[in-house]
Structure 1
């Protein structure tokens, strides 16, 4: 445990680090206020007049100059944060203590003193605004919040430190263009457009955050009145429509090879198809608690788009899908797992097996349409179910795959759950991959004598 001392000029000069490690000393007067003492560097020893001290041989005597950095630590909205105040001798212990008292008061009031520290002309920096946007995503329950924060730091903070420190209300369209252009030159148009979208959304949130006390400080203090990203067009090549869908023969060959995989890959890949090619992120979040055995459904949470609350997406489970789940789950809770349900799988697990099957199909000359990816399986399912002899309607396919449901009709007027229609479509899908014919309508002969 760190030692406690009274931090004043006299006692501060006596503090040394323990061994070669930086050492923390807490103030006995103000709880949460402390100083970090580091080894620093060797400097010439000086007498009272400021002259360098020499030894008998005329060499300059050196002494170690320790580093003293004041900080405070407190809780902000339930989380412990540390704020660096400054170094001695720029800050005396008394000055640092007054600042610490101010910062701790802000934390108690729910304000982030780190933002106030980094503001210029009353405005939070661009970086604080962007981190505030990531914090808002976390508060809104967006599962991608952590990923967005990492991408913001990697593609904005690290390569553009000057822009990152610039006041948010001083950011121009040229600043935003520089950030996007770097990713375009790196031939990553998809990532470039994602960063464009993050910046545009952050500015929009900041504009509307000034009178909203629930919003993160980084957005509230940005003092933004215009969105410099409004006129920046979508990055070319960032969203390529999926034009590849497996032919029926390719799809059946894919299914045959899926069933030949060793476990747990076999059951994982079968379940991916048997649930209709659902998005991997949604499947990976599913647990045993999301299965309703009375209705025979698996409820997935669809966070995609601007939803503040996820859409509950119920997928009927065929007996074959339930058998896959039975083989995959054990002592854990996750449905889409390869270690007995303890941890969910990720997209890489699926991609590696799709790559293996694709290579085998190419070698066996079963691949007539070229390269395909896990996303192709989802596109194939929709394409084949829409064609003869299945002719599943676009409304049912939209419900089955949870897309195209953002219109007024879907939000306010369409309350049918489509359970039977989705189940019928999945039954068709199973017959399709197994090469089974669709049952035809039974023709009942007309009995003339009976009519008479």
Structure 2
């Protein structure tokens, strides 16, 4: 057991197991409230720790411990609030492990949805924190009554109300994401009754039917979001990129020179993922239903290596604005691209309107598939890490496509610089 600590968002990441063994840290503000810190998995040579909040009090004379939940599903402040509630129940002779929801036969809709986010975190899904934020933003805050309603009383009309709000706001893609979250949460809650390893929010939901099972995909949610730039626009974009101040210049250059990779994957890349002998960088693709990420190797052109050397420092991350201490966020890249879009519009270089970082990815694939490059769909799929979920790709295709991906990236470099293809 370690000394007492004031548990908050700042101190929590600094807590570590003592001598490699699970360690309890008690809170200085709330007696009986603490966190268990345990060794997690080793990622790129760095140990990630697990944080589980709990409270301990006396229930009818017996010392009773109640697990509250794990970080990041529970923040220290939210966990402390729960601890006060549970300790109050124990003082009144009530067992908080048998919640009101359980006594009435059901956890709330909100408990179930947070339980789904916790389940994602248990599965090691990097999207867990983002899913939780979206659930709170698009369900909890605007629909407080539905959030507190028993999960097994939620109807298809209730779910439609949630989606209708987003559709009216002209956010069909977000509406479909929330539909998917709700549908999966109900499905997991139905299965959780037979699986003790599921979070309490799912186990206590007492759900027998899925009200979202008959809700169709939201119209317009699959509409292509990003246009392809014309070749003239792409070359103008490249000129503006190279005129940006650092580190924006090198970050935007890397985005293009690696083929327009997904920003989430770029943000996770560390110096340990770079092979300077090849040279290449290995990205982790968590997209889809994978329980283990696909290792996606992207060759590095000499100009890309130079860009990496300009922005990396003492920290571990490659795509960073502070020498690798923190990874870039998607907002930074969107803002950087928006600056160039504005400059292109002012210079009369914008032919077809608004574009985003995703447009760069779409442009690269579109241009490489056309004359004079004619890169095959197989190579494009390997370069951009998509369309690789089939039986052939999983079980029979073992070629690494490294040389083909390198050739495609060399084409991109010639393309943006306005150079002709050899033999043309």
Q: TM-score, normalised by structure 1?
A: 0.74
Mapped partners of 1:268, 1:262: distance in 2: 10
Q: Tell me the equivalent position of 2:278.
A: 295
Mapped partners of 1:361, 1:161: distance in 2: 44
CA contact (8 A) 1:72 1:83 kept: no
- Partner SS state of residue 99, structure 2: helix
Q: CA deviation at 1:412?
A: 2.1
Distance 1:405 1:25, change over 3 A: closer
Mapped partners of 2:30, 2:256: distance in 1: 56
Q: CA deviation at 1:73?
A: 6.5
- Partner SS state of residue 435, structure 1: coil
2:312 to 323, 329, 336: 329
Distance 1:208 1:414, change over 3 A: farther
Give the 5 Å matches for 1:87-126.
96=91, 98-99=93-94, 102-103=95-96, 113=97, 116-119=99-102, 121-126=104-109
Matched, 1:313 2:296: yes
Mapped partners of 2:215, 2:69: distance in 1: 36
Q: CA deviation at 1:76?
A: 5.3
Q: How big is each residue's C-alpha offset from its partner over 1:322-378, in whole Å with a ceiling of 9 and x where there is no partner?
A: 110000101111101111111111222222222222222223222222222211111
Paired residues, number: 364
Distance 1:242 1:32, change over 3 A: closer
Q: Tell me the equivalent position of 1:84.
A: 85
CA contact (8 A) 1:126 1:166 kept: yes
Mapped partners of 2:171, 2:127: distance in 1: 20
Q: CA deviation at 1:34?
A: 7.8
Matched, 1:162 2:145: yes
Q: CA deviation at 1:74?
A: 4.6
Q: Tell me the equivalent position of 1:431.
A: 414
Q: Tell me the equivalent position of 2:115.
A: 132
Q: How big is each residue's C-alpha offset from its partner over 1:371-398, in whole Å with a ceiling of 9 and x where there is no partner?
A: 2221111110001100111100011101
Matched, 1:271 2:257: no
Matched, 1:175 2:170: no
Mapped partners of 2:398, 2:190: distance in 1: 35
Mapped partners of 1:317, 1:243: distance in 2: 25
Q: CA deviation at 1:157?
A: 2.0
Q: CA deviation at 1:289?
A: 0.7
Matched, 1:232 2:227: no
Q: Tell me the equivalent position of 1:33.
A: 57
Mapped partners of 2:353, 2:86: distance in 1: 60
Matched, 1:185 2:168: yes
Q: CA deviation at 1:426?
A: 0.5
1:393 to 364, 368, 376: 376
Q: How big is each residue's C-alpha offset from its partner over 1:238-273, in whole Å with a ceiling of 9 and x where there is no partner?
A: 232146211112111111111111111111110000
1:348 to 301, 317, 331: 331
Give the unaligned 5+ runs of structure 1.
Answer: 2-22, 36-70, 104-112, 442-452
CA contact (8 A) 2:186 2:210 kept: yes
Mapped partners of 1:399, 1:412: distance in 2: 15
Which of 1 and 2 has higher RCO (CA within 8 Å, sep 6+)? 2
CA contact (8 A) 2:101 2:204 kept: no
Give the structure with higher Rg (CA). 1
Distance 1:437 1:163, change over 3 A: same
Mapped partners of 2:31, 2:176: distance in 1: 47
Q: Tell me the equivalent position of 1:408.
A: 391
